[in-house]
Structure 1
Amino acid sequence: MKKSFVCAAITAIAFVGLPAASFAATFHSPGYTNVSVGTVPDTANGFGNMAFGSDGTGYIVGGYGTNQGDIYSLDNGGSFALLASNGSIGLGIAVHGGFAYTTDENKNIVKTDIATGAQTTLMNLGGDSPNGLEIIAGLDGASFTLAVAQYNGTVTFVNGDTGAVQYTVATGATGLSNIEQGLDGSLYATNHGQQSVVRLDHTGVLSTVSFGIAYDGIAVHKGTGALYGFGPGVTGIDLLDISTGVATDFVSGLAGDGGYYPGLLEFSNDGTRLYYGERDNGLAISYIDGFDAITTAAVPLPAGATLMLIALGGLGAARRRRES
């Protein structure tokens, strides 16, 4: 189910010297701006997903065509640079501890040293295309775990240190495209085939919510927990309410992702920018600016200090009553 709210269109702006998007983005909430970054180099038919390193550098894995398997870095100034390539269609990507982890059409998880570009194969998943890739806290003693969404509906949890399979969850979905972790620690996987989002963890499926729209890309704002979905069922980005199954127009008028999984949609580390990729617009990379920055929670006061403040407040109120 989808609701639509319309407000004034906001035209795209671009970095100096970079091509502007040819599609006008229409926002359905005020306060946002669409910014064109540029196009992925050596493009043919597509790209996979995007991830960010701890220094804010973006990394995009090349998908189908002459750039398949290429990993490009994208700096804050909007410049692309080739990091490495394994020549196999790239799909998912995640960054951890100075390494980029990518999945490819040969069902491999490939580990790339960001400093040198050297690549090793961590493991082979088998099964179907491993589209989505997300790094989560380590399970069962691993320093970190890779959660991989495969097109056949399987989500495989892999020890990031050793490459050993830790858990396998059969979601029953037909066409998992991408995967993202929510604030509560559970994972959200887009089910392209059945037009739904599957919520799960390593123990199994927690819920499946039908939106009646085929989404590939999915992104969670790590400050608010808001969930966003992108194409090919829409030529825009929707705000998804996982509790009700209602999708609300967030921005429309985009070129779309061309129907290729996994769909490029990812928040910057600070949460202020939502990056997306349009295959139907010359493989353009853009971002939406204007989101709230992620802030750390205030440090709670010790119980004794809290009681003291309450007592002082009471004394102040009593003094004001006497003076009046």
Structure 2
Amino acid sequence: MTPQQLASLWQDLGGAARSASGMNRRRLDADAAVDVYACVFWPRGRPGLLVEGAVQVAGLADRTPRCRGVRVMHDVIAADGRPDRTVLVVMLDDDRLREIFAVLSADLVNAVTAELTVSEGLRRCIDRLCMWQGLFERIAPEGLSPERQRGLLGELLALEGLFLAAIEPLRAVSSWFGSDSAHQDFVHMGVAVEVKTTLAKRHARIMIANEKQLDERPYSRLILAVIKLDERAENGVTLPQQIARIRTALLTDPLAAKTFDDRLLLADYLDVHSPLYETRYHAQTPLLFSVEGNFPRLTEANLPAGVGDIRYSIIADDLNAYALEPAEVTALIEGQA
């Protein structure tokens, strides 16, 4: 199920005669364990989903999230002589979020219909809604800012050039944690890589977000990757083009491809926004540094007592003593496979 298919279904349902039940609906997968319907809810003609099944799942009501612009309702219908029926309604409340809601709904349909039991399908629905709750709070209708586009592009270039070049696709994609608010963008076994993206025309001043970002102590090796981008380069790549390149590389591994798409969601990237990301960037050869010894940094180990939550900068041009070649980094990653 795609967002476009759901949008078309909602349009058809909205144009049909109103049902006396208060909704027009169409079942989406007759073979799925849980019943999932595309719906238009009256009297306001709101698009949404109905997910239901003949079972009562403990604790489901307590986990039902609230999403900005989306109404989520949980109910259990008791019937004499028959099992209780759990009903989940997911309905759009804010028309400005219609395109994003279609993406959310398609994701829910695909996740829920893949489960083998009614209980797991209903739990999966709530799990995905909880993930989307945070996304709806963060994602703006206009998509990612230019700075966040560049940051994501830098991480994807590192994923392609360092990790997919060294280890199998699923391990490579699973090593990407930058979208999940981790202290380092990539962690594979004992090797961590922190990616910083800058515009090439700027002085190579690298902003470090906190005292844990360049703390190598939890790892056998910590690498700082600095990626300089030339903006609006004729031979450059847009953010959607880079994502398409990685998706092509993952075609032979469906689980890796699904994991990659989930990580993109956590990075607040939605395909519906791809027409907005038109700027082309040309990436210079990444600058790679081994964070060790006297590498200039602030960590918990060298901060005065009581000091924390710091933000500071380092100058990449002053780090030549710690420089590594890309082949050395891929060999480190490959050695941990």
Q: TM bucket by the smaller chain? A: under 0.3
Q: Normalized per residue, which structure has more strand?
A: 1
Q: Normalized per residue, which structure has more helix?
A: 2
After TM superposition, the score normalised by the length of structure 2 is: 0.22
After TM superposition, the score normalised by the length of structure 1 is: 0.23
- Rg comparison, structure with higher value: 2
